[in-house]
Chain A
Amino acid sequence: MSAPLLSVRDLKTHFTVKQPGLFSDDRIVRAVDGISFDIEPGEVLSLVGESGCGKSTVGRTLTRLEEATSGVAEFEGQDILQMPPAAFRPLRRDIQMIFQDPFASLNPRLTIARTLGEPLFIHKLAKSREEARRKIGETLELVGMDPAVMSRYPHEFSGGQRQRIGIARVMIVEPKLVIADEAVSALDVSIQAQVLNLIKRLQRKSGIAMLFISHDLGVVRHISDRVAVMFKGQIVEMGDKHQIFEAPKHAYTQELLSAIPRVASHREAV
């Protein structure tokens, strides 16, 4: 087996929460409390769990939006948690993030072309404006949008379209690892299906590895190769998708699976 693309060992991210009152001690929230996992190149690993389990913090720590408390995360052999911010910046091209809220993740004051052009210029992936525009157009087509939209502003688009633009921003730099944090949770069911199909298709085509963070087990089953179930800052069960969904071992995984409301019981005839 080849070396993993990302190897996380005993990662901890704790937050200090200031307590009101003069004499009360600060409280420490152990959002992520010692988790380890590997992601192979081209693989989709899902982190699934309920709100507050720390799954989003994992993604934010790996993109250095939060400071890790301890632990190691080796990306292609380099520890990305300890290196100085300046050294990490070139690596941001390889590790990209898709955010949950398509209404908040695009700067309302920038045109789509400027939003998509930004990473191109930062990472020097386009030598001229013309080349940048060509790439932006191609990437917009890739996510199923008309290249002509690049001169418009985010408020002119629906949630689903904005999320496509968010995906374009990630794909345009041809990353090696994409961290998707609840990437389809804010979308209506019919739009969610489109975007989910799109993410899956792009992942298959490009072979990008993905850390897919979600609370929705149906979505997770649809997209992942392997699944890690998180509870209170720790991974309680990790395994192949079929094992997790068809033969869950941990009681919490079983509880999660049984809690999902299903239409299946009514659907036998369909």
Chain B
Amino acid sequence: MPLLEVDNLEIAIAMRGQLLPVVRGISFSVDEGETLGIVGESGCGKSLTSLAIMGLLDGTPVRITGGDIRFEGQDLRQLNRRERRAIMGSRMAMIFQEPMTSLNPVYRIGDQIVENLRQHQKISQKAARARAIELLELVRIPEPQQRVDSYPHQMSGGQRQRVMIAMALSCDPKLLIADEPTTALDVTVQKEVLDLMADLQERMGTAIVLISHDLGVIAETCDKVAVMYRGKIAEAAPTDDLFARLAHPYTRGLLNSIPVVDRDVEWLEAIPGRVPGIDEDIEGCAFHPRCPRAQDICRRNEPKQHRIGNEHTSHCHFAEEAAP
């Protein structure tokens, strides 16, 4: 049984009395200790998917309109608030893009970790504090004994993100959801944070769902990848398989759009057009207005899932041909 199983999840946003679909039926699973990368551009629904899994959509105009989310076999959508809170932050944790906004500026970081620990475990104040220092050491904060009493604003962006990771890992979660965890960081700091996450995962066996717009970050850290476009998974595969055999024109376009540092490219093969707005209706394949190989069938029919390899799937009418 997979640790996390998302089945045909649909999410819509309520706007001007209408429900506009943002996530249009996506399915994926994550096994224990595995890293899944979800990659896509803004508005593709990747962040809402992560918020839906964490149950953080309450009180927003966004709601789940269909599908199941099962964690350790339990349907998360059936749980009440209290049962949910028992899971969140202990067996399942999340880190966000901007660590400054997710840490409370008026409390010392140590106290925030201690509070989180004591919420989920029966542990004394003293033991919790010792554990907090241990965790800071684990995420390689220098001089954890002293830094445990620092306030968030006294730390750098990279250090704050490590504190967030320490807090997320405080109760040994089975699953960590990381939404653009390094997007606000400089490349050198990004590398340290990604290395740290990989290292901790190896040691603690945590499964990770890493959400990013950066194909490079995904390629370097994930076991498997799901490429999202306009609320659907365009292509999904184990990382090596994906790059060995691109089976969706969007994935290919995304890859060719990235200016690389290792060789000269005279002109980038940009994807033409723009990301469609959520209130636009597109018939057929959602990508066809921007697709260089779009045919009549793409304009008419929505593509079904094509299986290219063992775990390699693509939502493209020409999935088999698209591969080189």
Asked if B188 contacts A50 (CB within 8 A), the reply is yes
Asked if A196 contacts B259 (CB within 8 A), the reply is yes
Q: Is B142 an interface position by the 8 A CB rule?
A: no
Q: Which A residues between 217 and 256 are near B, CB-CB below 8 angstroms?
A: 217-219, 221-222, 245, 255-256
- Binary CB contact string for chain A from 252 to 265 against chain B (1 if under 8 A, 0 otherwise): 00011111111111
Chain A contact residues: over half helix, strand or loop, or mixed? Answer: helix
Q: List 14 A-B pairs, Cβ < 8 Å.
A: A50-B187, A158-B277, A190-B290, A191-B275, A193-B268, A194-B271, A218-B260, A257-B261, A259-B190, A261-B190, A263-B216, A264-B262, A269-B245, A270-B255
Q: Which residues of chain B are near A169, meaning CB under 8 Å?
A: none
Which of B's residues lie within 8 Å of A, judged by CB? 41-42, 186-191, 194, 213-217, 219-221, 239-240, 242-246, 253-262, 264-265, 267-272, 274-275, 277, 290, 324
A180 to B: closest C-beta gap in Å: 14
A74 to B: closest C-beta gap in Å: 32
Q: Which residues of chain B are near A219, meaning CB under 8 Å?
A: 259
Docked CA distance A51–B156 (Å): 12
Given known A-B contacts A189-B41, A193-B268, A215-B186, A263 and B261 have beta carbons under 8 A apart? no
Which of A's residues lie within 8 Å of B, judged by CB? 50-51, 158, 160-161, 188-194, 196-197, 200, 215-219, 221-222, 245, 255-267, 269-270
Closest to B240 in A: A266
Partner of A260, one of B221, B245, B261, B271: B261
Closest to A191 in B: B274
Partner of A161, one of B189, B220, B274, B324: B274
Given known A-B contacts A263-B243, A266-B219, A189 and B187 have beta carbons under 8 A apart? no
Asked if B258 contacts A261 (CB within 8 A), the reply is no
Docked CA distance A43–B256 (Å): 26
Docked CA distance A263–B221 (Å): 10
Asked if B268 contacts A222 (CB within 8 A), the reply is yes
Among A189, A217, A222, A262, the one with the most B-chain Cβ atoms within 10 Å of its Cβ is: A189
Asked if A270 contacts B243 (CB within 8 A), the reply is yes
Asked if A218 contacts B187 (CB within 8 A), the reply is no
